[in-house]
Chains A and B, each alone.
Chain A
Amino acid sequence: MNEGLKISAVSHFYADYQSLDQVSLQIGSGSVHCLLGASGSGKSTLLRLVAGLEIPFAGEIKVNGRILYDEQTNLLPEKRPVGLVFQQYALFPHLTVAANIGYGISHLKRKQRLELVDKYLNLIELPDSGDAMPHELSGGEQQRVALARALCCRPQVMLLDEPFSNLDPRLRTDLRKLTLRLLKEADVATLLVTHDPREALAVAESMTILEKGKVIQSGNVEELYFKPNSLQAAKIFGPVNSISTHHKNTGMPSLPGEITDLSGLDEDGTILVRPEFIQVRHANGDSNAVVIEKTNEGSTTLLLLELESHLKVFARIPNPTSLEVDEQVHASYA
């Protein structure tokens, strides 16, 4: 496997405000890395630095061993082996779909170029749309054209800036699969920016969580979900229970069952428990909590429970459920 994209200790300022602070990450060729964070966390800035649209203040950016940026070098955007798909796709409105895809390969002979464009039109499953204008296509089709246009230049790194955020959820899953398949086949290192943690879990092998320009945690997907290194990192994926184990008054919430994996226990005795690790059922005379809030999430329901010790915990249970607000229930660790 090639080294892929390697970003080392990159910092960046907008005027006097530091948008990125010593960010490092590495993505192997053929794998997908997600950059997750709230808006303003610096994820788009990092993308623009890799593309060469902004210049870092310090650090180093390499692709397969070749330096794109360091103290001496700064390759122009057009010289970098980097493709970028914008959130709004940025298709040229005055060019046909085929001309858009072929834009980056105009150095090839006409025949070769047309063959290559045809090949990509087939790959993105739009074989007959070559003569269409971009505005005649649907959002999902435009997204695929933007991807093909970027892939056509044979980049070694692909940057995707919230590429699926403007699409309806049904389409999103299909398109995600197609996109990932094409990227894998092209063996590019992909950096995908998103603010949707479920999307990150669905597509990425590894991910980096950014907040206010700093890396909070970086690693593979399982690690981040199951072993977050901080409450901040854990909360990215939704509400989480932060439970103190040796606080005198509340103590470990007196729930039946045991937390089997205590590796997440930190120094001050706090452990993070995701809501799905708490089980809830109707109380049969052994109630230890009351439901105070109920949110339907489709396949699951998120409950907010108040324990006898007045501690509040989240629990996530599969749907359908007959539990109601104000009902006395029995909660336990799963």
Chain B
Amino acid sequence: MRRYKTSEVWGWILLNTVVVAMLLLPLGDVLLSVFKDSEGVWGHLAETVLPRYVRNTALLAIGVVTATVLIGLSSAWVVTHCEFPGRSLVQWALILPLAIPSYLLAYATTDFFQYSGPLQTILRDMFQWERGDYWFPTVRSLAGAICILSAGLYPYVYLACRTAFLRLDSSMIQSSRLLGAGAVKTFFKVTFPLIRPAVIAGAMLVLMETLAEFGAVDYCAVDTFATGIYRTWLSHGSLVGAGQLSACLVGFIVLMILGQRLITRKKRIATNNGASTEVQRIEMGVFGKLAAYIIVWPPVLIGFLLPVWIFIDMTLENGDQRAFELLGELGRNSIQVSLVVAIVATMLSFALFSSLRRCPHLFNRIIVSGSGLGYAIPGTVIAIGCLSPLFLVEEKIADWCLTLFGEDIGFWLTGSIIGLALGYVCRFIAVSNGMIRSGYQRISLTLDDASFALGRGPVKTLTGVHLPLLSSSIFIASLMVFVDAMKELPITLVLRPFNFDTLSVRVYQLASDERLDEAAASALAIIVVGLIPIIVLSKYVFSKNINANPG
């Protein structure tokens, strides 16, 4: 343990505590609302809609998690262990649905499968059917929402499993084979138990995203907690009631995280340290290849190719002058606010983790890792939690300004993009934290020692050693945050100032008004931006060196 002056240590801890407390303010506000009086709204909610929220949220979560685990695990296994034409393409294509926010997927899929959509129209033309002659599943239903979310979210499980399969010590599988176990027994007794922590981690991400999902669920008219919170705020106008609903959701999420910790405790993934031997892939016969295609291509088709094709088609057919003007105007707003958020979040992450490097005190570690909690909290909850602290600060400072300078600055916080940006930072700082943390982990502590021994102080070590070595991490961190902010919907919907629309909000509004055609160009723009981190990500996942640097 390196020794530092006590005053410096506590200085850092104090400073970090203030910063992190501000980031967690929305969460605290939501939890505190439990003790506030909702003026009857809670009682009303509990009597009327609460049982439905609980039931729908639970069914949605169970359905989506089950489906994504099945799709993600099987497709990862197939691309790792089987050889078939197009394997190297599809192993990359399988992560593409991550580029499409679930609400866009919902709009596109609904459009394709609904009564007036292309599929049913073709079927009717082909078989001379009329309305009522045939049964077709409704997309805007709980089952439809489960399918849409599964198609959009399975890549989380796929990525986790794929990485785990690649990192799995291949001598484990070979040992099992040599001890007389066939492929099936080896999978269930060795491979699956060893990658289970990764499967669970992937499933947890899916669960979090499902609980937080607003746009797609709202469009499918399924009442869950996330949509209920928004509606309680919007139509009941009750911030306290919305806060109390949020607290329920947060409580559930905390339970899930604790559960995961309990299950995966002490379990470690056997990683391939040292000589990596490429897994011998099974050569497939005709039926084997067919089976492989049936497993790997439909997720890509429904999760990526179909929606992209639909939006391109709509843009080409209806892309008038107005649509592109709209795109330019909204794009500017989106880029502006996302850029601010990316810079602020990355700078904060860098500051937090360089202070942690300087003073790896236990308190400091706990505080810094607490800063990323917001990512586990649904956007709707963050947004609701931001509102009252923002209003409070805004009012106080505006009052002071008025008395001190005689100037009325009005709604300087909620009326500008500052409030919106703060909400984004609370949620997305976890993304930049992750990148900066792993960047710092790659810099050996001996480099710091060497720098100090050569007479450089902490500041010069930071600017001369850490900053250059972290430059790519910093860039990727800001890129990831930028893209996440571009796609974000619920926080934007609640916290945006009047007359300030972003791409995602406008697409949401147009889709709600059944005017999806006009939003197609904007939707495509969001998808294109979303593709950027996928390309960056794929470098990490599919690079050959993956075994050389675990973690």
Residues of chain A with a CB closer than 8 A to B171's CB: 86, 88, 90
Nearest-neighbour CB distance to chain A for B169, whole angstroms, equals 7
Known: A93-B194, A93-B270, A94-B194. A104 touches B174 (CB 8 A): no
Asked if residues A83 and B178 are in contact (CB atoms below 8 Å), the reply is yes
**Interface size of B in residues (CB-CB distance below 8 Å):** 22
Residue of A nearest to B266 (CB): A133
A93 to B267, CA, bound (A): 9
Q: Is B190 positioned at the interface, with any CB of A under 8 Å from its CB?
A: yes
A233 to B182, CA, bound (A): 41
Q: Is B55 positioned at the interface, with any CB of A under 8 Å from its CB?
A: no
Q: Is A150 positioned at the interface, with any CB of B under 8 Å from its CB?
A: yes
Interface residues on A, range: 20 to 34
Nearest-neighbour CB distance to chain B for A103, whole angstroms, equals 5
Known: A90-B169, A92-B172, A94-B193. A77 touches B178 (CB 8 A): yes
Residues of chain A with a CB closer than 8 A to B274's CB: 88
Residues of chain A with a CB closer than 8 A to B194's CB: 92-94
Nearest-neighbour CB distance to chain A for B176, whole angstroms, equals 7
Known: A88-B171, A90-B169, A90-B171. A77 touches B268 (CB 8 A): no
Residues of chain B with a CB closer than 8 A to A90's CB: 169, 171-172, 174-175
Asked if residues A77 and B177 are in contact (CB atoms below 8 Å), the reply is yes
Interface string of A103-123 (1 = CB under 8 A from B): 110100000000000000000
Asked if residues B181 and A103 are in contact (CB atoms below 8 Å), the reply is yes
Residues of chain A with a CB closer than 8 A to B268's CB: 93
Q: Is A34 positioned at the interface, with any CB of B under 8 Å from its CB?
A: no
Q: Is B85 positioned at the interface, with any CB of A under 8 Å from its CB?
A: no
Residues of chain B with a CB closer than 8 A to A82's CB: 178
Residues of chain A with a CB closer than 8 A to B190's CB: 92
Asked if residues A78 and B270 are in contact (CB atoms below 8 Å), the reply is no
Residues of chain B with a CB closer than 8 A to A104's CB: 179-181
Known: A53-B280, A94-B194. A84 touches B270 (CB 8 A): no
Asked if residues B174 and A84 are in contact (CB atoms below 8 Å), the reply is yes
A88 to B267, CA, bound (A): 19
Known: A53-B174, A93-B268. A149 touches B179 (CB 8 A): yes
A104 to B174, CA, bound (A): 12
Asked if residues A78 and B182 are in contact (CB atoms below 8 Å), the reply is yes
Q: Is A43 positioned at the interface, with any CB of B under 8 Å from its CB?
A: no
Asked if residues A76 and B177 are in contact (CB atoms below 8 Å), the reply is yes
Asked if residues B177 and A103 are in contact (CB atoms below 8 Å), the reply is no
Asked if residues A153 and B172 are in contact (CB atoms below 8 Å), the reply is no
Interface string of B169-206 (1 = CB under 8 A from A): 10110111111111000000110011000000000000
Asked if residues A103 and B193 are in contact (CB atoms below 8 Å), the reply is no
Residue of A nearest to B190 (CB): A92
A84 interface neighbour in B175, B182, B189, B280, Cβ under 8 Å: B175
Chain B interfacial positions (CB closer than 8 Å to A): 169, 171-172, 174-182, 189-190, 193-194, 267-268, 270, 273-274, 280
Could you list 14 further interchain pairs (A-B, Cβ under 8 angstroms) beyond the known A153-B179, A153-B180?
A51-B174, A52-B177, A53-B174, A77-B178, A88-B169, A88-B171, A92-B172, A92-B190, A93-B268, A94-B193, A94-B194, A103-B176, A106-B181, A150-B178
Q: Report the 4 A-B pairs with minimum CB-CB distance, sorted nearest first.
A: A104-B179, A90-B171, A77-B177, A90-B175
